[in-house]
Amino acid sequence: MPDAVKSGSIAGAAPALPGTQTEGLAPAEARFWTGDYYNQGNGHEEIFDKLKEECGVFGVFGHPDAASLAYYGLHALQHRGEESCGICTSDEGAFHYHRGMGLVKEVFDRDRLASLTGTNAIGHVRYSTAGASQLANAQPLVFKYRDGDLAVCTNGNLVNEPIIRRELEEQGSIFQTTSDTEVIAHMIARSPKDLVEAVKDAFSRLIGGFAFLIMTKDRLIAACDPNGLRPMVIGRLGDAYIFASESCAFETIGAEYVRDVQPGELLVLDKNGLREDRYAKLERRAVCAMEYIYFARPDSDINAVNLHMSRKRMGQQLAQEAFVDADIVTGVPDSSISAAIGYAEQTGIPYELGLIKNKYTGRTFIQPSQELREKGVKMKLSAVRKVVQGKRVVMIDDSIVRGTTSLRIVNLLREAGALEVHVRITSPPFANPCYYGIDTPDRRDLIASSKTVEEIRQAINADSLYFLSKEGLLEAVGGHAGEQDRGLCLGCFTNDYPTRVEFEHAKATSCSCD
């Protein structure tokens, strides 16, 4: 099977899906989702305006079943990106790789994994914004340069990528993708220095949030941005080294967590083992706060902080800051369940499953008509009528972006018979775009950028609304005492970004796409 997706098929999967150019299927006007495959981007017509996951990276060095480990590791990181994925292995200097559009289980099967031989591997799951959901941007990206093959994958976004890309193009570089991951490959290839020094020079020019894995025929290099915006952890499985965006991937394959990769650190693995180096010093630690609030799985740890326990403390802080007399507490699944439990424990108000998420409708189930669109909302999420009917409900959620999601969920609860709906959010108002790898709307589309809390309450049809204070968030996460904002990036809440952002060039986007 070629490393491509033809119209009407998914790489690594046999059946064609509705809406593709396959004879006999429904015409375009009858499609229940857009695009040629299940999770393809669909523009800005999202049923739920939740923030989009970042990407996930996974690496293996020194294990005979590297591809299989990468498969299971990427499956554990699937929540970080559902549009494309890929694995590249190194087998005694020869690269084998496969990338495809869709979920990990759709792109890879037993035969495909068997063809990816080798003891070293890097893999990637990706989410992209609309307009750049294409195989050319699927990672790992694989290149040939003077010293052989080079594979690169990243989680994050480079703020100054447009400037560097323009410079490289003026010097003769020809780009094959719109991903800024390719910029790194060009910078490395053009350097006269050896690989490690070339990587250091390249990374030292970057501004943004990123976690990189770079593989050659006999080396694996891992690095995080100088502020630690994008997380990455290192583990061991026997004599093998494992890297992942989240520690939950280690549990899946039975690896032991060793530590977090530090900001500005460069780790080099070769036949001599692991060498710890740096390409930049730590000036200000700034781990993305949304990792703790929303993105990472609750069974993951970031900087020794467990996400489930952290989110429970957010709920407890909300209860202390904004108690309201009610009959039940419910969380918007899945990311807000932990916080809802914490709120309920703190207040003594019973926690109930008032909202149920259907996990099998996919992220991008888009209908052509408003009537079907509203039914689509209920296919994604439904209220448990017998639980909420006649009750005063506290609804816990992690954030409000445009406000449309909160309005729909509040109305779902009201339609199911809730007498009152009080909304509590486990983050401060999200009023500013992210430039480090989270897909956020234009600032003008962020409801908190132009409306007061009272105006937002009215817009979402809630009886009351409260956002967790910045101080409450920092207390709940814990983090690094004595450091600015306890080592968190709060730019989306405070407009105080940890790096220079040249707004005329930077783009607020996810995983470096158009």
Instruction: Provide the residue type at 284 as one letter.
Output: R
Task: Give the list of residues 6+ apart from residue 503 with CB closer than 8 angstroms, or none.
Answer: none
Specify the pLDDT at position 118: 97
Specify the pLDDT at position 75: 97
The annotated binding site for Mg(2+) is made up of 335, 397-398
In tens, the pLDDT along 358-397 reads 876 554 433 344 455 455 566 788 999 999 999 999 999 9
In tens, the pLDDT along 300-336 reads 999 999 999 999 999 999 999 999 999 999 999 988 9
Instruction: Provide the residue type at 70 as one letter.
Output: A
The annotated binding site for [4Fe-4S] cluster is made up of 288, 434, 489, 492
Beta strand ranges found along 332-460 (DSSP E): 355-357, 381-383, 392-397, 420-425
Specify the pLDDT at position 220: 98
pTM: 0.86
Helices (H), 210-306: 248-253, 289-290
Distance CA 288, CA 149 (A): 32
Specify the pLDDT at position 52: 63
Distance CA 166, CA 463 (A): 51
Specify the pLDDT at position 145: 85
Specify the pLDDT at position 147: 83
The annotated binding site is made up of 288, 335, 397-398, 434, 489, 492
Instruction: Provide the residue type at 209 as one letter.
Output: G
Q: Is there a contact between 343 and 395 (Cβ–Cβ < 8 Å)?
A: no
417: phi then psi, degrees, rounded to nearest 5: 105, 10
- pLDDT, the chain, mean: 85
Distance CA 432, CA 508 (A): 10
Specify the pLDDT at position 444: 87
Specify the pLDDT at position 11: 32
Distance CA 22, CA 215 (A): 38
Specify the pLDDT at position 514: 34
Q: Is there a contact between 350 and 329 (Cβ–Cβ < 8 Å)?
A: yes
Q: Which residue ranges of the chain lie beneath pLDDT 70?
A: 1-50, 52-53, 128-133, 360-378, 502-514
| Residues that are catalytic | 55
Six-digit token pair at 85?
């994925």
Domain architecture of the chain: domains with CATH: 52-284 (3.60.20.10), 302-358+370-494 (3.40.50.2020)
